[in-house]
Amino acid sequence: HKNGIQYKGYVNFLNQAIEPALPFLHKDMRGLDFGCGPSPTLSVILEQKGLTCDNYDIFFFSDLPREKYDFIFATECFEHFFFPAKEIQHIKSLLKANGIIIIMTETWKSVKAFANWYYARDFTHISFFHIQTFDFIAREFGFEILKCINERVVILQKTEAADID
């Protein structure tokens, strides 16, 4: 990957998640790029739009956030989760009441196509999601699906009842 603010292709790629999320965000909100990688880019793009976004990555920016956020972007990190339920619960714990999470991960379409799917052949990808998986995640973890942009970007909102956990 050529990741970084200087790579137009990567910026355009991240904008697939950022643009549909913008109607749900405003300048007094604070966000987190969960799984930002070695060259934080999403937070820079958001900063250019007047939004504040911290960075977290288990390998590169490993200081665990101690605050709650209004929004969290998780772009291209769900497929790297060894324990998806544990990670989703962790992300949920970092969200304020009614906070939103913007998830970007390529979803699988059919069992038949899975074996030849480039995404599944990436040895760092260990968890795979179907678009219907996000219905399950919403039910199980106390989220509401705000928007399903395509088969790659889903925006979920933490429900008030989920904040009671």
Per-residue pLDDT of 46-96, as tens digits, reads: 999 999 999 999 999 988 888 999 999 999 998 889 999 999 999 999 999
Query: Taking Cα atoms as reference points, which of 19, 16, 162, 160 lies closest to residue 89?
Result: 162
Beta-bridged to residue 102, according to DSSP, are 73, 155
pLDDT, the chain, mean: 91
Given a cut of 80, whether residue 136 has pLDDT beyond it is: yes
Given a cut of 60, whether residue 165 has pLDDT beyond it is: no
pLDDT tens per residue, range 2-29: 888 998 999 999 999 999 999 999 999 9
pLDDT given for residue 99 in this prediction: 97
Please state the rounded mean pLDDT for residues 148-157. 87
Residue 133: CA count within 13 A, CB half-sphere: 20
Place of tokens 């929004």: 71
pLDDT given for residue 110 in this prediction: 87
Residue 163: pLDDT band with limits 50, 70, 90: low
CB 42 within 8 A of CB 104: no
Strands 95-104 and 153-158, sheet pairing: antiparallel
Given a cut of 70, whether residue 124 has pLDDT beyond it is: yes
| % of the chain with per-residue pLDDT over 70 | 96
What are the Cα distances from residue 69, in Å, to 4, 50, 73, 91, 129? Answer: 24, 16, 10, 10, 25
User: Residue 13 is inside which H or E element, if any?
Assistant: helix 8-21
